[in-house]
Amino acid sequence: MALVAGLLVAQATVAQDRKPLSPDEASKYVVSAKAGIVGIIEGSASVTHGVPPATPDMLIFGDELRAGDTVTTGTASRAEILLDPGCYLRVGEGAQFVYLIDGSANNKIKLVRGSAIIEAAVVESDIVIDTPKSRFAIKEPGIYRFNILSGGASEVIVRKGKVYADKIEIKAGKKAIIDGAPMIAASSKNDLDGLDDWSKYRASELIATNKNLSNSVMKGSIFASGFVSNSWIYDPFCGCYTFLPWTAGFSSPYGWSYSVCNPYWYFSPWSGGGYYSGGRSSPGGGKTQPGGGSNAGGGHGHPNRGGIHPPPPPRITPAGRSVEPSHGASAPAPSHDGGGKKH
């Protein structure tokens, strides 16, 4: 309660010192902590509410999944789902998963078939990935690839971070196939495909969106929402969602920093009162720690600001289907198969 009271005092002080925003300006951003929002669909995807074979509905950008929903992507299609703020689920073509996050005890995704990537800039509580042959627990920020192989065997590839298959730890740079006893080996560049390229590209686009957020325009929406934690923020200027950290010091495990955080934090009593003064990223790029230091990124440049920016991946266009440019994406590149990993 003392933390919330301090925030409200800080917000009121800042609000007195700024020019009031018009109602239109104050409502330009939408702030939420909800998981399950659809961030992007390329190609086609469907959602079944309840147990299949219930009639599926088309899944589109902005839809909100509920616990028990089953999502299936079509041929040459892929989708991104926002999980806890700072954590993304991306699935390739022909994938199917059951969304089991209920906002309380369960923080779980059941991958039935296909491939999925978890990009986690922060992990507040364990993220569980159930597969036909194993259960995986993500406990720290990182990049994690999951594949359901022919015969139902489960494969995990850890780009960064570490994951647990039951009680077995699988570290960064390793992969494991589980069909009985786990077989662990080193991962390689041969394990990368179009879904990996797309996931990295999406990360760069979302970082670029974060960097373009306007503090002055955000303040009205954030003040009205009263959020005191990491959040998702909808930016109508790009028509997409991105991650809005509560404090400075968060970065994508792909290597770019989220340089814009909740503008009220800069002026809060616990921030030190300075721009980017109160946080530095943890080694995994996750939750900030108290103390000085600048906003720590991953050391790989800044998207759209003269740093390293991966080239746009191929845009998926299923045969006979016209796909409009997606929310927040750059112009499409020549098409080729960029879906999930095939075995």
Task: Give 153-177 as a DSSP string.
Answer: -EEEEEEESEEEETTEEEETTEEEE
Boundaries of every domain in the chain: 34-194
The pTM score is 0.76
Task: Please give the chain's pLDDT, 343 residues, in tens.
Answer: 333 333 333 333 333 333 444 545 546 788 888 899 999 999 999 999 977 678 899 999 999 999 999 999 999 999 999 999 999 999 999 999 999 998 777 789 999 999 999 999 999 889 999 999 899 999 999 999 999 998 889 999 999 999 999 889 999 999 999 988 889 999 988 899 999 999 999 999 999 999 999 888 888 788 777 777 899 999 988 889 999 999 989 999 999 999 999 888 766 655 554 433 333 333 333 333 322 222 333 333 335 433 334 445 555 543 333 333 334 333 333 333 344 444 4
Report which secondary-structure segment, H or E, holds 197: helix 194-211
Fold of 34-194: Jelly Rolls (2.60.120)
